[in-house]
Amino acid sequence: MKVGFIGLGQMGRGIAGNVLAGGHELVVTDLSPQAAASLLERGATWADSAEELGRQVEVVFTSLPTPPDVEKVAESLEQTLPAGAAWFDLSTNSVDGVRALAARLAERSISFLDAPVSGGPEGAASGRLAIWVGGERDVFDRHLALLQALSDKPAYIGETGAGTIAKLVHNMTSLGISAVLGEMMTVGVKAGLDPLALFEAIRSGAAGRARSFDKFGKRILAGDLDTPSFQLRLAYKDAGLALRLAREFDVETTLSDAIYETMTEAMDRGWGGRDSQAFLLLQQERAGIPPMKVDPHELQAVFDRT
């Protein structure tokens, strides 16, 4: 299969290298020809522009920094990609942006799939990379072998925009976890602990040993909040003590304070005897959605696959 790749930064270069490793013919372009040097040495072909690249390939991948960059490339590719071609955009874009692009390209019989990735530059190079795809299922299935050359976890998420939604939820959650960890690390260090000793200690605890999202799945998605392994009232007590420590050392904890306020509301509802995750049900109420609950066998299958 002749594959095009546009955008050879830290992520794109590694992913494009796995296209070559998978035995595919590869045509590349980038603002900087030097970015393609290692790929050209391995047998890739250079195109002077996105337009030129579009004339040569049947499937194209883009890995670009911003939505305007994707739009600029779209203006070129829609003129030259042949009918029946598929475009997988690995960039992180907006949901309305990818939906508008997909609709526009469909008028030319070109399939556009939003396919953002997660795994960092090391994952891009090694192939230990998640690719979350939104768009036409049959196009995903037709190109699955190609996607598996790039990723150990290519996944079809749903219609156009679904991959982008998954990526945005993932990244904001990751940032939130890092932000709260950052807040409480400053509390611990200001209270007198060595940062490395503190980090090693908390990394060996229950949360530090677990995959970040597993507890949410095992409690909230499973709907298992009334057979607690750790009661909300005890978690609330611990949160209060942590924030008292922060006040003692005059450390601002904006995010942790907001979490404590939500926990207080859950306690006021009489949920103290439920699992410590029960306060997260309040966010579902605020969002106007019913409590999340999935089939336990399907949930276990997710854990088994990962």
240 and 100 co-located in one domain: no
Helix H, strand E, coil C: the string for the chain is CEEEEECCCHHHHHHHHHHHHCCCEEEEECCCHHHHHHHHHCCCEECCCHHHHHHHCCEEEECCCCHHHHHHHHHHHHHHCCCCCEEEECCCCCHHHHHHHHHHHHCCCCEEEECCEECHHHHHHHCCCEEEEECCHHHHHHCHHHHHHHCCEEEEEECCCHHHHHHHHHHHHHHHHHHHHHHHHHHHHHCCCCHHHHHHHHHCCHHHHCCCCHHHHHHHHCCCCCCCCCEHHHHHHHHHHHHHHHHHCCCCCHHHHHHHHHHHHHHHCCCCCCEHHHHHHHHHHHHCCCCCCCCHHHHHHHHHHC
Residues 277 and 153 in one domain: no
Q: Are residues 18 and 146 in the same domain?
A: yes
Query: Could you tell me the CATH number of the domain that includes residue 249?
Result: 1.10.1040.10
Q: Whole domain around residue 57: which residue ranges?
A: 2-160
Residue 22 lies in a domain: yes
Task: Tell whether 267 is covered by a domain.
Answer: yes
The pLDDT value given to residue 266:
96
Answer with the one of 160, 191, 209 that is the final residue of a domain: 160
The pTM (predicted TM-score) of the whole model is: 0.89
Number of domains within the chain? 2
Q: What is the pLDDT of residue 305?
A: 82
Q: Are residues 213 and 269 in the same domain?
A: yes
Looking at residue 38, which CATH number applies to its domain?
3.40.50.720
| Predicted pLDDT at 280 | 93
pLDDT of 1: 85
Same domain, yes or no: 198 and 231: yes
What pLDDT is attached to residue 166? 96
Q: Tens place of pLDDT for every residue, the chain, 306 residues?
A: 899 999 999 899 999 999 999 999 999 999 999 999 999 999 999 999 999 999 999 999 999 999 999 999 999 999 999 999 999 999 999 999 999 999 999 999 999 999 999 999 999 999 999 999 999 999 999 999 999 999 999 999 999 999 999 999 999 999 899 999 999 999 999 999 999 999 999 999 988 888 888 888 989 999 999 999 899 999 999 999 999 999 999 999 999 999 999 999 999 999 999 999 999 999 999 999 998 889 999 999 988 887
Q: What is the pLDDT of residue 209?
A: 86
| Domain boundary residue, one of 114, 129, 160 | 160
Residues 33 and 156 in one domain: yes
